[in-house]
Amino acid sequence: MSIQTFIPVIWEARLLQHLDNALIARNFFNQDYEGNITDQGDTVRINQIGNVSIFQYNRNQDMTPPETLATSAQDLVIDQAQAFNFQIDDIDRVQARSELMDSAMQRSAYSLAEVEDTFLFNLLGAAVPTANKVTVTISTPAEMYELLVQLRKIMVINNVPSIGRKVAVPPDAIALLLKDDRFVGTGGTNAESTLQSGFVGRAAGFDIFEVNTTPGGNTVIAGHQLASTFAGQIVKTEAYRMEKRFADGLKGLSVYGAKTLIPEALASATVTF
């Protein structure tokens, strides 16, 4: 590879494709404001309209004056920046160079994904209101399913839309759920074709994702995309010729930020398996 033939747009697209395959936590976030980001330090102001009052209408009587809508604003700050930087020496055989570069890009993407997933799940876990947290000890498939039902109840009480509810669970939980017919019958078979994205099936009204990056490795997190927002960009990819070596280098920068806007739409469980 030479500097003259390097096309940044192609490499950026390849990196994003690998990130999409590896990331799981983004499934728990909306990305409504992503198009507004250009670099680290950017801030997106998100406005929210308050409740509208409802009143009894009486025929042939004037209505009360229209109320002034109240608004509130929250800031989404792009405060995370992760980079990679690697080289490929000219001594490597020419026919292997493109393969090496592609593999290195994949590894860079997966490493970025792991850091991002950990950050996002920690953010979700910290945002869950105390009233929506439970602590349980689980040893049977029935107890694991019961936990999902309990988390579903929290979602219903808080008026979280039934369509789009998701739950992230550690491998110990999936090992139990796979033994419960209520899980296998509703989503276990389909999971074989979608395992790459972390989705493993449905149960108790949740899309279930198996992850290794929830807080403490034993936390179950339930929620909906409307609760939190994420925005991120691969803002830079740059090929360069190394000054003191016969080698090509490639470096890139990913910036992102996330914020929970409606914490009531989240719930979590700290589980001892």
- The predicted-structure confidence for 211-232, as pLDDT tens digits, reads as follows 988 888 899 999 999 999 999 8
**Distance in angstroms (rounded) separating the CA atoms of residues 135 and 100:** 46
**Distance in angstroms (rounded) separating the CA atoms of residues 29 and 120:** 9
**Distance in angstroms (rounded) separating the CA atoms of residues 102 and 85:** 14
Closest to 198 measured CA to CA, from 8, 7, 28: 28
- What pTM was estimated for this model as a whole? 0.81
Cβ–Cβ under 8 Å, residues 201 and 245 = no
Digit-coded pLDDT (tens) for 10-23: 666 666 667 766 67
CA geometry: angle at 121 spanning 118 and 123, to 5°? 105
pLDDT at 229: 94
Cβ–Cβ under 8 Å, residues 173 and 268 = no
Residue 9 pLDDT class (50, 70, 90 cuts): low
What is the maximum alpha-carbon separation in the chain? 90
pLDDT at 270: 96
Q: Where are the domains of the chain?
A: 3-272
Determine the average pLDDT of the residues in 66-84: 87
Closest to 107 measured CA to CA, from 26, 199, 22, 10: 22
pLDDT at 207: 93
Task: Render the burial of 188-212: b for 16+ CB within 10 Å, e for the rest.
Answer: beebeeeeeebbbbbbbbbbbbbbe
| Of 223 and 181, more confident | 223
pLDDT at 95: 46
pLDDT at 92: 60
pLDDT at 194: 46
Residue 90 pLDDT class (50, 70, 90 cuts): confident
Tell me the C-alpha to C-alpha distance, in Å, between residue 206 and each of 12, 152, 221, 260.
Answer: 33, 8, 11, 20
CATH number for the domain formed by residue range(s) 3-272:
3.90.1690
Tell me the C-alpha to C-alpha distance, in Å, between residue 187 and each of 74, 160, 177.
Answer: 37, 22, 11
Determine the average pLDDT of the residues in 127-140: 97
- pLDDT, mean over the chain: 84
- One-letter amino acid at 33 equals Y
